[in-house]
């Protein structure tokens, strides 16, 4: 069934250049753009406020359960806004020569960052903690419990962090695949049931088991899910959304079977760089034309 673009940010309020990253929390949409601005919207994409938080292109946004917002940029910085809805306070956590393309917050609201040198940094109370040199450029990142999931172009690598504060780690698995990746499904002892990432073509999807002792068995793999390379994969307990350069957002269900069902498709009209899930039937997209859109599926 078709999806539909229900709301768009107005032309006067769109990002100058591309909209790169978008996150959603509690009826608020946060987007970062190529001009270095953070924009905050209500659920109907009315602009609440905007702030120039970086000097240039924003790579990634991450938000904690309490609303603390982190951002990274090609200006080499990570910045934090403790309460972006109520305050303009923006603190610089680090400035470096590396390109920090990935930020995620784990289930305990700890921040992790991944850079183009292959280093994943664990932050403690907004200070640099442990560093893990995983060698390959981190294009997509997920963290759960003591596991770090990273991928760029060749393999999805799952890294086990040893208990304690030594920073020791070991490679648990290396699975053929490409960015983006996501964890989804119900959790068992804090670990999501499924791991999903793009095939090496960038246009297909690999859907795997993720629980301990599953050996990351493939449930299904489907090539040519999109006509062009995907930029974003996100999911809930039972629904998967994919989008990318072809300007289409696709909703997939029936995930536990060998043949996932394409349950909806929406034409955006511009390359989709990022999407954020509001519900199983509603997502927000950040696109190459600078516009934020709300897409709804019946």
Q: Which two tokens stand for residue 138?
A: 């981190």
Does the pLDDT value for residue 2 go beyond 90? Answer: no
- In whole angstroms, what is the distance from residue 195 CA to residue 175 CA? 11
Size (the chain), residues: 298
Domain ranges of the chain: 3-297
DSSP H stretches of helix in 166-265: none
Superfamily covering domain 3-297: YVTN repeat-like/Quinoprotein amine dehydrogenase (2.130.10.10)
**145 in Cβ contact with 192 (< 8 Å):** no
Residue 212: pLDDT band by 50, 70, 90 thresholds? Answer: confident
Does the pLDDT value for residue 1 go beyond 70? Answer: no
- In whole angstroms, what is the distance from residue 215 CA to residue 209 CA? 8
| Pairing label, strands 169-176, 37-42 | unpaired
pLDDT value at residue 117? 93
In percent, how much of the chain has pLDDT > 70? 99
Does the pLDDT value for residue 165 go beyond 70? Answer: no
pLDDT digits (tens, 9 = 90+) for 16-67: 999 999 999 999 999 999 999 999 999 999 999 999 999 999 999 999 999 9
- In whole angstroms, what is the distance from residue 283 CA to residue 168 CA? 38
- In whole angstroms, what is the distance from residue 130 CA to residue 231 CA? 28
Give Cα 296 distance to the centre of its chain.
19
Does the pLDDT value for residue 152 go beyond 80? Answer: yes
pLDDT value at residue 53? 97
pLDDT digits (tens, 9 = 90+) for 101-114: 999 999 999 999 99
pLDDT value at residue 121? 96
Which residue in the block uniquely carries the two structure tokens 């990253």? 21
Does the pLDDT value for residue 4 go beyond 70? Answer: yes
pTM over 0.85: yes
Average predicted confidence (pLDDT) for the chain: 95
In percent, how much of the chain has pLDDT > 90? 91
pLDDT digits (tens, 9 = 90+) for 115-147: 999 999 999 999 999 999 998 899 999 999 899
- In whole angstroms, what is the distance from residue 163 CA to residue 207 CA? 29
**Is the peptide bond prior to 180 cis by the omega test (within 30 degrees of 0)?**
yes
């Amino acid at each position: 069934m078709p999806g539909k673009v229900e709301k768009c940010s107005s032309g006067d309020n769109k990002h100058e250049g591309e909209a790169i990253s978008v996150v959603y929390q509690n009826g608020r949409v946060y987007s970062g753009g190529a001009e270095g601005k953070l924009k905050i919207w209500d659920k109907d994409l009315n602009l609440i406020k905007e702030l120039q938080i970086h000097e240039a292109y924003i790579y990634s946004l991450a938000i904690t359960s309490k609303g603390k917002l982190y951002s990274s940029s090609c200006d080499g910085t990570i910045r934090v806004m403790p309460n972006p809805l109520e305050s303009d306070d923006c603190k610089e956590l680090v400035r470096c020569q590396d390109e920090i393309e990935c930020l995620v917050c784990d289930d305990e609201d700890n921040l992790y960052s991944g850079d183009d040198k292959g280093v994943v940094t664990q932050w403690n109370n907004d200070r640099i903690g442990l560093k893990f040199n995983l060698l390959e450029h981190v294009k997509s990142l997920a963290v759960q419990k003591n596991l770090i999931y990273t991928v760029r172009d060749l393999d999805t690598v799952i890294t086990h962090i040893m208990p304690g504060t030594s920073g020791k780690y070991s490679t648990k698995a290396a699975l053929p695949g490409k960015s983006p990746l996501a964890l989804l499904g119900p959790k068992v002892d804090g670990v999501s049931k499924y791991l999903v990432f793009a095939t090496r073509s960038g246009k297909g999807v690999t859907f795997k088991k993720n629980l301990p002792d599953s050996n990351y068995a493939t449930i299904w793999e489907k090539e040519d899910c999109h006509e062009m390379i995907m930029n974003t994969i996100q999911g809930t307990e039972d629904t998967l959304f994919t989008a990318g350069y072809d300007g289409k957002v696709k909703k997939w269900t029936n995930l536990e079977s060998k043949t996932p069902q394409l349950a909806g498709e929406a034409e955006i009209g511009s390359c989709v760089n990022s999407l954020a899930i509001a519900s199983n039937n509603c997502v927000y997209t950040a696109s190459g034309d600078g516009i934020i859109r709300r897409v709804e599926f019946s």
